[in-house]
Structure 1
Amino acid sequence: MKVRWHVALRPSKRRALDKNTVSGALVDELERVKARIRARVEHPFRVIKRQFGHLKVRYRGLVKNTQQLHTLFALSNLWMMRGRLMREARA
Structure 2
Amino acid sequence: MDQMSFADIESQNKKRKTRRELFLERMDRHIPWSVLVKKLKAHDSKGRVGRPPYPLEMMLRIHCMQRFYNLSDPGMEDALYEIESLRRFAGLRLGERIPDETPILNVRHFLEEDPRGEKLFKEINASLGDHDLRGCLEINRVMA
TM-score > 0.5 by shorter chain: no
- Structure with a larger share of its residues in helix: 1
What TM-score, normalized to structure 1? 0.30
Q: Which has the larger radius of gyration?
A: 1
The normalised TM-score by structure 2 is 0.22
Q: Which of 1 and 2 has higher RCO (CA within 8 Å, sep 6+)? A: 2
